[in-house]
Amino acid sequence: MSEYEYSLPEDKIRKRPLKMRESAKLLIYDNGEIKETVFSRFFDILPRQSMIALNATKVINARIFFRKDSGAKIEIMCLKPIHPSEYESILKQNKKCVWECFVGNLAKWKEGPLVNSILIKGKSTSLTARILKTEGDVHIIEFTWDNEAYTFARILEIFGSIPIPPYLNRKADSDDLDFYQTTYAAIPGSVASPTAGLHFNRSTITQLAKRDILHAYLVLHVGAGTFKPVTSNTIGGHEMHGERFFINDIYIDTFWRCIGRIIAVGTTTARAIESIYYLGVLISQNPDIMLDELIIDQWMPYNPANNELPVKEALQNVVAYMKKNQMKVIAATTHILIVPGYKFKLVSGLFTNFHQPQSTLLLMVDAFVEGNWKRIYDYALDHDFRFLSYGDGSLLLNNSIATSPEDYALMWV
């Protein structure tokens, strides 16, 4: 991991969002050549009939603060739903729910529940948090509240705050409520923004069709682990977190037709799209696999036996499985870890921001540019690009993934 360390000066980190999303600088890496422009001109770079894939997840107000009678401030960060285990269901609860959480200032929370009360329309509403058990550095916490008129989604809006990254070293404000959310965010569930998509405004999306560029949406709910640095000395010592993703049948067809021209907006989108191939592999190994067994292990791509299936057969397997089970949307959990040595199956272009040293996101970038990450990052640092969530973007292109269109006839007839 020491090979993925670099010096990131504080003044290279943009701390506030740009008022005009599309005004960010854009670095272009095209099979070894580096140049730059602004994001609003990225249409000029993409070939006609490219396909932009976007993650339509929506960030929830996952950070909740409590204050003890002593004055100590406790922060709870909701990470993953436990009971109910699906985001859609847990956000609809109106009495109680259970989450896997991080806890800040845990030493001050020695025992008993935490309670926070807020006046809403003249009536006091209280939210209570209790630790049910601890598993390593995460805690299983039950939340209860005394107003059944409010779902947990509404409770988070009232008691929670948008979980901007800690390296911004400030509290979230009204700008973050707007700009830390993509303009196409639709399905609540993320605890961190798919930040590459922050550069797209509504006008950008509407222009795609006019430029003969397709676009498709999927959902991968971003967990806090996405941005967790690798603390082991080697990549092999890192345990990758799991994230839920959802994709419907129409867009699997779109990916099928656009092999070699798929541009993933963000590492989360790339992770989900590449995982679709391995879903097809799992299904080929067990055509009757249960829905709750659709789990992709982090090392699955590095077993040669799991890479023998042609891409089109893998996608056909997913389609056949969905038809067999009368599914319009397939859901799965991916732990996939994309690091140098990974061979991309579907994504031939990656639009992404500039990432922290020794992060899994930087490892994915290096896998995509086949060892050239340092040259790209040196250029960005030398040419006044801004880094991390609110920073500038890069468009990375890899023509080695391009496939002749005639190999991929339309699946859905």
What residues contact 373, with CB distance under 8 A and at least 6 apart? 4, 362, 365, 366
How confident is the model at residue 190, as a pLDDT? 93
Rounded to a whole number of angstroms, the CA Rg of the chain reads: 22
How confident is the model at residue 89, as a pLDDT? 94
- Helices (H) then strands (E): counts for the chain: 9, 19
Q: What is the mean pLDDT of residues 71-89?
A: 92
**Helices 267-285 and 360-368: crossing angle, nearest 10°?**
80
How confident is the model at residue 122, as a pLDDT? 77
**Least-confidence region, from 102-111, 327-336, 344-353:** 102-111
**With 60 as the cut, is the pLDDT of residue 116 above it?**
yes
Structural domains in the chain, CATH included, are 2-59+179-407 (3.40.1780.10), 63-161 (no CATH)
Instruction: Give me the half-sphere count of Cα atoms (radius 13 Å) on the Cβ side of residue 282.
Output: 22
Q: What is the mean pLDDT of residues 140-165?
A: 94
- pLDDT category at 208 given cuts 50, 70, 90 is confident
* Residue type at 139 in one-letter notation: H
What residues contact 122, with CB distance under 8 A and at least 6 apart? none
**Least-confidence region, from 120-124, 199-203, 388-392:** 120-124
Q: What is the mean pLDDT of residues 281-293?
A: 96
